[in-house]
Structure 1
Amino acid sequence: MDAIKPGETFTYEFTATVPGTYWYHSHQKSAEQVDKGLYGTLIVEPKNEEKVDRDYTLVLDEWMSDPDAESHMDMNMSGMDHSNMNNGNSSDNQQMDMNSMGHNMNMYDIFTINGKSGAAVQPLKVKKGEKVRLRLINAGYMSHKLHLHGHEFKIVATDGQPLKNPQPIKDELLNIAPGERYDIEFIANNPGEWLLECHGNMKGTDGMKVKIQYEGQANNTDKANAKENLPVVDMTTYGKYETGPFTLDQKYDVEYTMDLGTAMGKNGMIFTINGKTYPDTAPIHVKTGDFVKVKIVNNSPMDVHPMHLHGHFFQVLSKNGKPVTGSPLIKDSLNVNPGEEYVVAFKADNPGNWMFHCHDLHHASAGMVTEVKYTDYKSDYTPDPNDTTNKGE
């Protein structure tokens, strides 16, 4: 489709067939437009939904208090030697990761939940005994590790897809990468006032917290502790194992290796798939009905790549060579840390041309995009060669 120009309209019509927590956003100069807030949530409720007493949607994002300051900084990272940098995943390395992207993440100094920060975030009201669902959506560029204080919780869905027999966990961090969604549920069985807060050492971390207030309980029983060292939930071992739609050793019609990399371009950092930047990246060619296996390898020294596939869900089969031992993990976005390797599989059951890209939209706009292209699909869209306004990224 063409970009929607000022004053124009475009109508989407679709049947909401897959229940879950989703969001929509601009894909026209997305690193700029999503950054300025051009997105919204899309909640698809099942016909026979399991009842919860409270259902809250929380959108995480980051903002710059001084957008002009960014342009005054030297964003060309050509003098930086990536070869000798540690690629661990501690908070310090997260800080390095934020600096290494050619788009300085330190500029994002305000973290928000539903567009508000700190004390301005609307508290979540609960009553004792209620079942509470929180739908968590990361619309920003940074991963956020969330800690629910004072309660056990279950992770019941990721990217809109349910998890099998999720077990209750407590005092573990849930890491939500850009583009990802997680639904968690808990029983409000511990009256008082508690926090759901982001952990980390970035400048805006303290603003990303929300109070959970029991009705009739005015006293503050909880304190923020964003530096507390807690384990992070490993989604590849969470929930109950059962065979999903795909296995590692079945026959696949298409196999593709996606080598994610970082390099210096003429105008700063570029982010590559198999050494190329979009539109020169090799597409994944499929035909309707194909079983497709993709190996995703992050060879960037420090950059985290949350990879997102449009139009399909994939099953995560293995991480670093080890098969998934928890619930079948069905997602459309997968966070890949430096040095990590995942194998995912999906069925080509939605004909079209679909983006498969990094959901750090700065990385996507600097090249980290490919497409799933159906060879038996003919698009009725013809781009206007004279229209230079389309920046589909």
Structure 2
Amino acid sequence: MRNRLIALGVALAVLAPLAYLWATSLVPSTYSATDMGFADYGGGPASSGEHHHHGGSSVADLIGPRTGAADVVLTLSARKQKFTLASGESVDGFTLNGSSPGPLIRATVGDLVEVTLVNESVPGGATLHWHGIDVPNAEDGVAGVTQDAVPVGGKHVYRFRADQAGSYWYHSHQVSSEQVRDGLFGTIVIADRVPVRDLVAAIHTYDDRRTINGRTGSSRVDVAAGTRLRVRVVNTDNALVRTGLVGAPFRVVAVDGRELRGPTPTTDAFPLAAGARVDFDVTIPANGVRLDAGGTSLALAPPDITPPGDPLPTATVDLLTYGTSAALGLDVANPDRTFEYRIGRRPGFLDGVPGLWWTINGHKFPDVPMFMVAKGDVVKMTISNTSGQSHPMHLHGHHAVVLSRNGVKSTGTPWWVDTLEVGDKETYEIAFLADNPGVWMDHCHNLPHASQGLMTHLMYEGVSTPYEIGGDAANEPE
């Protein structure tokens, strides 16, 4: 009897803490993103009351222009269906207007863009997030934060001004780890008023088959020798891709929709983070060039010319030193808010499921920091990673400038990003201006990582959202 009591006591001593950890890990079936975790004011003034107060302005009111004729008008119909890649292989996934990638949207700086998303047959709903375009918060397309997921048979209209030239993309932010992987995305180019000959190359992997613009293997576009071409490369996958042009020197002229200062000719590879974009400027030589994306390539050459088949160099472009420096336009020496974003990993439960989960500042989702700011704040953030894996970190609604990496200051071009690859054991210091009020996701763009808890928000004081995760709309942004 005594031995049984001892055994029971030992079992309770082990199981009781586990039961507590299990119970406290459960995520409510319905909750507001603004009620997550705990407020981190970054050393700035805290508003009165809890950070999830529901006064002030609403996300639903932070909209793009609602009057005036749009310059770019498009309807995108989302479907779940089998489709054929441009190279002929069959995929069972999602399409926009019957294809994946979806249509390339082109606008010019100053245009008013109006896109209507119609959900014909995507179960569980869909949205459109304008990745890298700093749209008003209500146009950001995050289910449960800035809108409800569009159900089958429903539609949603997005309107925003195309203020910043650059290379961008759009994708669903409802169950994004699955819907983006299976094809619910496309590209968007906002051009300067001075026309430039360009070509968009969207990298995406369908069922372990890497493609450029939906084509596996080697494909080509005929381009006359002497043509000056801007090659806009978009990484829509979940991991970094080493890319670049083989066959001629080129310049890296833009990253994440922001022009670089003083770009110089290079032949080195470029490490393109998941979700990020890079623009190459090249003059096509007589022998052509080849865009390499690791397992697939795109020849850009005169007709009947095969460009060099050499592999990418082992050296890579380092934007910490590439180009020439310039004033940032931000007083980064005296920020209004200073945050830490420490990425780690530890075992435990997440929503009752045991595993090895990502942490932010030592906390598992949803008990993660809510980074609180006020409009006009200069924000400095230190992102460090000791998780054992690399993470492409994406902040919605803003672009940040890289100040340093591992303590080494940036001395090259101002390096503005919306998606930053933070490798294991790396630390980046970034800064940005809080000039776009709302509730903004700040997450890993290896989308399965986001779905596993590597996700939090940047929240402006006084802003609330009427939308909820879960609920009748079954909102599930990751």
Same fold, TM exceeding 0.5?
A: yes
* Post-superposition offset of 1:385: 6.8
Could you give the per-residue CA deviations for residues 1-35 of structure 1, whole angstroms, max 9, x where no partner exists?
11111111011111111111111111111100001
Match of 1:139 among 213, 229, 236: 236
Match of 1:58 in 2: 201
Match of 1:112 in 2: 211
* Distance (whole Å) between structure 2 residues aligned to residue 355 and residue 326 of structure 1: 29
* Distance (whole Å) between structure 1 residues aligned to residue 149 and residue 387 of structure 2: 31
CA 1:137/1:385 → structure 2, altered by over 3 Å: closer, same or farther? closer
Match of 1:96 in 2: none
3-state SS of 1:31 partner: helix
Match of 1:238 in 2: 322
Structure-to-structure mapping, 1:118-157, within 5 angstroms:
118-119=217-218, 121=219, 123-157=220-254
The answer as to whether partners of 1:239 and 1:327 remain within 8 angstroms in 2 is yes
* Post-superposition offset of 1:156: 0.6
Match of 1:37 in 2: 183
* Distance (whole Å) between structure 1 residues aligned to residue 334 and residue 202 of structure 2: 39
The answer as to whether partners of 2:469 and 2:475 remain within 8 angstroms in 1 is no
Q: Which amino acid aligns with 1:264?
A: P
5+ residue gaps, structure 2 = 1-146
Match of 2:362 in 1: 275
* Post-superposition offset of 1:221: 4.9
Does 1:9 find its partner at 2:152?
A: no
The answer as to whether partners of 1:247 and 1:317 remain within 8 angstroms in 2 is no
Match of 2:134 in 1: none
The answer as to whether partners of 1:135 and 1:181 remain within 8 angstroms in 2 is yes
3-state SS of 2:376 partner: coil
The answer as to whether partners of 1:61 and 1:141 remain within 8 angstroms in 2 is no
Q: Which amino acid aligns with 1:342?
A: Y
* Distance (whole Å) between structure 1 residues aligned to residue 272 and residue 165 of structure 2: 20
Q: TM-score, normalised by structure 2?
A: 0.66
CA 1:278/1:46 → structure 2, altered by over 3 Å: closer, same or farther? farther
The answer as to whether partners of 1:195 and 1:224 remain within 8 angstroms in 2 is no
CA 1:57/1:275 → structure 2, altered by over 3 Å: closer, same or farther? same
* Distance (whole Å) between structure 2 residues aligned to residue 384 and residue 182 of structure 1: 33
Q: Which amino acid aligns with 2:198?
A: D
* Post-superposition offset of 1:229: 4.9
Q: TM-score, normalised by structure 1?
A: 0.80
* Distance (whole Å) between structure 1 residues aligned to residue 331 and residue 264 of structure 2: 23
3-state SS of 1:297 partner: strand
* Post-superposition offset of 1:247: 5.5
* Greater CA drift, 266-275 or 291-300: 266-275
5+ residue gaps, structure 1 = 65-107, 199-204
Could you give the per-residue CA deviations for residues 316-368 of structure 1, whole angstroms, max 9, x where no partner exists?
11111111010011111100000110001111110100001000001000000
For the aligned residues, what is the CA RMSD?
A: 1.7
Does 1:197 find its partner at 2:260?
A: no
Match of 2:78 in 1: none
Does 1:261 find its partner at 2:344?
A: yes
Match of 2:403 among 317, 328, 333: 317
Q: Which amino acid aligns with 1:242?
A: A
CA 1:18/1:229 → structure 2, altered by over 3 Å: closer, same or farther? closer
Match of 1:306 among 362, 387, 392: 392
Q: Once superposed, which parts of structure 1, at least 4 consecutive aligned residues long, lie more than 4 Å away?
A: none
Q: Which amino acid aligns with 1:44?
A: I
Match of 1:72 in 2: none
CA 1:251/1:194 → structure 2, altered by over 3 Å: closer, same or farther? closer
* Distance (whole Å) between structure 2 residues aligned to residue 234 and residue 176 of structure 1: 11
* Post-superposition offset of 1:276: 2.2
Does 1:161 find its partner at 2:254?
A: no
Bigger Rg, structure 1 or 2:
2
* Post-superposition offset of 1:386: 4.0
Match of 2:141 in 1: none
Structure-to-structure mapping, 1:200-219, within 5 angstroms:
205-206=294-295, 208-215=296-303, 218-219=304-305
Match of 2:430 in 1: 344
The answer as to whether partners of 2:372 and 2:460 remain within 8 angstroms in 1 is yes
Could you give the per-residue CA deviations for residues 15-66 of structure 1, whole angstroms, max 9, x where no partner exists?
111111111111111100001011111111123x3x43x31000111222xx
Match of 1:93 in 2: none
The answer as to whether partners of 1:25 and 1:38 remain within 8 angstroms in 2 is yes
CA 1:153/1:5 → structure 2, altered by over 3 Å: closer, same or farther? same
The answer as to whether partners of 2:331 and 2:378 remain within 8 angstroms in 1 is no
Does 1:383 find its partner at 2:468?
A: yes
